[in-house]
Amino acid sequence: MNLHNMIGAGLALILTLPSLAQQTDSSTAKNAVNVQDVDTAVRQAMTRFNIPGLAIAVVEKGQVVMAKGYGVRHLTTSEPVDKHTLFGIASNTKAFTSAALAMLVDEGKLNWDDKVIKHLPEFRMFDAYVSAEMAIRDLLSHRSGLGLGAGDLMIWPDTNKTTEQLIAGIANIKPSSSFRSEYAYNNLMFVVAGEVVARVSGMSWQDFVEQRMFTKLGMDDSKAGFSRISPDNRNWATGHIPMDGQLNPFFVNYLEDFRGAGAIASNVDDMSQWLLTQLNAGKTPQGQQLFSAQQQLQMWQPHIMREAKEESFTTHRQQFRGYGLGWAIEDYFGYKKLGHGGGILGMVSQVALLPERQLGVVLLSNQQAYPALTGIIDEVFEDALGLPEIDRVEVALQNYEQEKANNYATAGIKPLTTVQASLPLKHYTGTLTSDWYGDVIVKQVDGNLMLDFTHTDLLKGKLEHYSGNTFVVRWQERLLEADAYIQFNMNNFQQVVGANMEFVSPDVTDFSFDFHDLELTALPAAEAE
């Protein structure tokens, strides 16, 4: 999570733009990134979207034309963001994991079509056929058959599960579609991919990324996990979450639990080297071949298609979109565009590449207004492609605010005309368990029911009665915006035999809170002890 369900995330600009004929005026070599225009767009976006701190790097034709920080790393300390300020890049980590595997393919140590069980014999999916047939490239293309964010509660937010426990848990997550038939974003497959890197290379995913990738790339400040940042380096950003009209600083450890799916901490100075390498067929600015052009072709070709959006054709002539190996792929005014977004609670990032124009952008920010980054990138591309001048940041804001208003208008618990009484609260106490998550404890404290996700410190909350055997979980950390219904299932003797959970506000809550996949079962008292 990744905040891959951030309000307005991925939202296309849907106001009517000039006709396609106007938009296809020649993009000749004289067109280039206008750094002053980009600077103006960044400052405008930060003001309009209320972003405390942001950093951007733009590369074009083999050169870094811009690498700059704006604003502050933390509202209360007011320390400035510069081009060396570290942010969690979240799911932009996925392209690094794919590249790590590409390096191992180049070395002849694995093939993209190797079955995962060849390298991880213990790997199992819910379906035996999928367990046997899942290939390396399937891990990296969101076509496993698992649903959107399925199993993320094993790593989100900040759990205590080991890699071995994660892999064991995957076997118990039921699929939402057949294998390779549908695109559904899933983080756990990239955790598995990171473990493949470790098994094949003989070093941890973290060490591989830092020692064999960052060193060659000249990414000297970047780390494969927040805990790996030197205590002497205090130049890192804290996320901020808007709630009730104000920004709230909120620290999380940059998704360290996500490992190969989202754990990297980086800055725009370092990321500019990554962009240049991507745009130079795997050759670093220092002249080293990180991965071959042949493997880049594999990473940059669609492995699963996604439905193109009608409004995206209006805004940037999108006629297809898909997902490769760690990269989202679409067309943008006739150009092939590679990119990815990343999200943490209070922090988002975005990378976008137009290889044909040798143009790349990375944006890192410490607020979760993802559409602001899309608006800035569109402004970067506007000059470089010779597109009509439009206030793309303002258009992004209008649509973001409308979407946010719509989402919050339907948020909150659904009112009932008739409310059924609950049983005495002691009937609901005990230990519930999920085959893949583990134990969830319901206990009575000072006359209230409390819920405790035992592997996740942030998921502790109070149960408020809703109706009958259904309660609403109010998490102690309100900034999660993840309240959920919990419905206790009873037998004929008024004993809890299980429970199901659902989002209270599905359009607001991040999809990585996948409560609906839990299928909780009550443990007998003896087992719970």
> Cβ neighbours of residue 175 under 8 Å, at least 6 residues apart?
125, 126, 127, 130, 144, 145, 146, 147
Lowest-confidence region among 4-8, 90-94, 214-218: 4-8
Check residue 124 and give its pLDDT.
Answer: 98
Rg over CA atoms, the chain = 23
pLDDT of residue 528: 55
Mean pLDDT of 495-523: 97
CA dist 46 and 53 (Å) reads 8
Alpha carbons 124 and 117: distance in angstroms, whole number: 8
pLDDT at 7 over 90: no
> Using one digit for the tens of pLDDT, what is the confidence trace for 272-310?
999 999 999 999 999 999 999 999 999 999 999 998 887
Spatial contact of 510 and 5, defined as CB atoms under 8 Å apart: yes
Alpha-carbon distance 103 to 125, whole Å? Answer: 26
Q: What is the pLDDT of residue 454?
A: 98
Of the chain, the percentage scoring pLDDT greater than 70 comes to 94
pLDDT digits (tens, 9 = 90+) for 357-412: 999 999 999 999 999 999 999 999 999 999 999 999 999 999 999 999 999 999 99
pLDDT in tens, 100-132: 999 999 999 999 999 999 999 999 999 999 999
Query: What tens digit of pLDDT does each residue of 435-489 get?
Result: 999 999 999 999 999 999 999 999 999 999 999 999 999 999 999 999 999 999 9
CA–CA distances in Å: residue 95 to residues 46, 66, 109, 214, 329: 27, 22, 19, 13, 12
pLDDT of residue 308: 84
- Within 10 angstroms of residue 222's Cβ, the number of other Cβ atoms is 25
Q: Which two structure tokens, joined as six digits, stand for 473?
A: 């979980």
* CB neighbour list of residue 128: distance below 8 Å, 6 or more residues apart: none
List 250's β-bridge partners, or say none.
Answer: 239
Q: What angle do CA 372, 374, 379 make, to 5 degrees?
A: 95
pLDDT value at residue 314: 72
Q: Which of 188, 170, 184 is nearest to 125 (CA)?
A: 170
Reply yes or no on whether the pLDDT at 149 is more than 80.
yes
pLDDT band at 312; cut points 50, 70, 90? confident
187-245 pLDDT, tens digit each: 999 999 999 999 999 999 999 999 999 999 999 999 999 999 999 999 999 999 999 99
pLDDT digits (tens, 9 = 90+) for 30-88: 679 999 999 999 999 999 999 999 999 999 999 999 999 999 999 999 999 999 999 99
pLDDT at 30: 62
pLDDT score of 354 more than 50: yes
Mean pLDDT, all residues of the chain: 93
CA distances in angstroms from 393 to 46, 129, 405, listed in the order given: 10, 47, 18
Of 241, 340, 265, the closest CA to residue 89 belongs to 265
